[in-house]
Structure 1
Amino acid sequence: MQRYGQIIKIKPEKIKEYKELHAKPYKGVCEMIKECNIQNYSIYLFDEFLFAYFEYIGEDFQKDMEKMAADVATQKWWKITDPCQISLGYAGQKWLDMEEVFHLD
């Protein structure tokens, strides 16, 4: 299992909408996340930053992310959630991966 922490900014005027969207994700979105070997997935809000944590239990992260990106329900979901976000990434990366510096089981 590989742990991931990611960060992105959120547009202040979109915070309410983003919370409402995540209170009721589109049908199929959460199922696809699980189907792509992601578990224990959470998104946290702090000021104008979103922090995501998840655990990947698959064998090929890139392949699973390509599968998720090809999913129609996920594409529709991203179409409404992406405009709420401001990427901190480089070369088109939306959510920036963070380095884990400590973990305690």
Structure 2
Amino acid sequence: MNTTRHCLATDLKNNPELIEQYKHYHKPGNGFPAVAKSIRDAGIVEMEIYLIENRLFMIMEVDDSFDPIAKAKSDAQSPEVQKWETLMWQFQQALPWAKDGEKWLPMEEIFKLTEQP
């Protein structure tokens, strides 16, 4: 199976209590099962989220079936995913350079060890 890595970033509101609540929602068993299913069904093989201060960094490993446009359309039609997204927006804030409606923004790869001499 071929996979591709996608790296994205967004911010949390800079409030320690909100950050702790956000972390709590992302512990095993505390999320919405329908959201995890929608992620897997979209061809996302693995997803990890890392935090430093209030900046979030997401790594997604996706298979060849992954289509971000189809995923966005499917998410928009899922009441459970929309409920989750609304809940998460209580904790998240768009990056300063994000356009209206943008949350997780793709990051540019600038270094890869295996490509170095």
TM-score, normalising length: structure 1: 0.88
Shift of 1:29: 1.1
Q: How does 1:65-84 map to 2 (within 5 A)?
A: 65-84=72-91
Paired residues in the alignment total 105
**Does the alignment pair 1:40 with 2:40?**
no
Aligned residues: percent identity? 30
User: What SS does structure 2 have at the residue aligned with 1:30?
Assistant: helix
Superposed displacement of residue 104, structure 1? 5.3
**Highest CA radius of gyration, 1 or 2?**
2
Structure 1 alignment gaps of length 5 or more: none
5 Å matches for 1:1-105? 1-13=3-15, 14-23=18-27, 24-57=30-63, 58-88=65-95, 89-103=98-112
Residues 37-96 of structure 1, C-alpha deviation per residue, up to 9 Å, x if partnerless? 112101100011011110222253211221123212111111111121110122421111
Superposition deviation, residue 34 in structure 1 = 0.3
Q: Aligned partner of 2:91: which letter?
A: C
Q: TM-score, normalised by structure 2?
A: 0.80
